[in-house]
Amino acid sequence: TLQPLFPLTKSQLPPCTLTPTMKIAFALSFMAVGATAFQPSFAPRTARSVTSSERLPFVTSNDVAASSSSTALNMGLGTFLKNKLGGGSSTESITEDEVRSLFYLWNDALQTGDSKIVAKRYASKPVLLPTVSDTPRTDFASIKDYFDAFLQKQPSGEIVEGKITIGDGWAMDAGVYDFTMGADGSKVKARYTFIYVFEDGQWKISHHHSSMMPEGTLPQAITKEEVRAQFGRWNDALATLDSKKVADRYSKNAVLLPTVSDTPRTDYALIKDYFDAFLLKKPQGVILEGDIIIGHNWAQDAGIYEFTMGATGDKVKARYSYVYVYEDGDWKISHHHSSVMPEAFLGPAKPAEEKEAVSA
């Protein structure tokens, strides 16, 4: 056992009085020693554990791939990540302009010609009631199948008119749109309903209903007087001496079998070409007799007309057949057959009994 060098009792220690300066120095020395004693030999960790509600979601390559394409079809990677990280919710706000822009994202997808890209614009549980198919499409595969065929027409759409409604996590755009088919140049007008939902950080099409304009599928009403008036419109076009205006009276797929040409005219250019020459005679016609039949969006007027040629004063009588169709909101000539009166060249047809007597 070690013995103290100076074995003094507490009572034997001399009194010690500390001045204020000494007290401060003593305190500072104690703090310095304490700080050194408790200093760890490594840097403290700055990270900490987080709760499940605070944990960042794991973003996979599939997530990113699903949100990207070669066209402007998505809300942007920044928005996608923002929503994946908790910035979005079922009540994600959207403006009317942004709702309308969703149609053009879908239309941009059409322009790619890729049915997969179009089908990705639809939600996980979609309903597509398409314009030209009786079959409801309720999943990715069936929607893709529809667009496999539809995209061959090279469609490009434009909204003519529509109304937008915005709800809690959904939006609706309904109205009329117009498609131009790049494959043949035809135009198709239809009614549409799009319902969008906010799903996985993007606005997707949950419901899409497209239908033909019903008034175009119902018979267009026309009276016999209105059918006869169509000849008057064609005759007025003759009076302008403008072959373009005359050719405009014919439908897209018209057939003209003219009076004084052996060549059938089956398109706009050929019809115009015929009237380039015929109008030099300055013709004006009048119907002498005719019979009218009215069908489903078509009408027929057939009989005999007579033309006065203003250039010479000559009169020419001929037989006519007009078939009119209702096309693009107007009645047009689908078929026009005009022929000279045959008896002037062939003589009148003989009765059957007279023919038998001659042959005997």
- pTM score of the predicted model: 0.47
CATH top class, domain 62-216 = alpha beta
Predicted local confidence at residue 27, as pLDDT: 52
Do 62-216 and 224-345 fold alike per CATH?
Answer: yes
pLDDT digits (tens, 9 = 90+) for 100-155: 999 999 999 999 999 999 999 999 999 999 999 999 999 999 999 999 999 999 99
- Architecture of the domain spanning 224-345: Roll (3.10)
Name beta bridge partners: 325: 298, 332
pLDDT digits (tens, 9 = 90+) for 176-222: 999 999 999 989 999 999 999 999 999 999 999 999 988 766 678 89
Q: How confident is the model at residue 341 (pLDDT cuts 50, 70, 90)?
A: very high
Asked if 113 contacts 150 with a C-beta cutoff of 8 angstroms, the reply is no
Strand order in the sheet with 250-257: 250-257, 330-340, 315-327, 298-309, 283-294
Q: Of 83-87, 219-223, 282-286, which range is least confident?
A: 83-87
Place of tokens 């203003």: 310
Asked if 119 contacts 137 with a C-beta cutoff of 8 angstroms, the reply is no
Predicted local confidence at residue 41, as pLDDT: 39
Domain boundaries, the chain: 62-216, 224-345
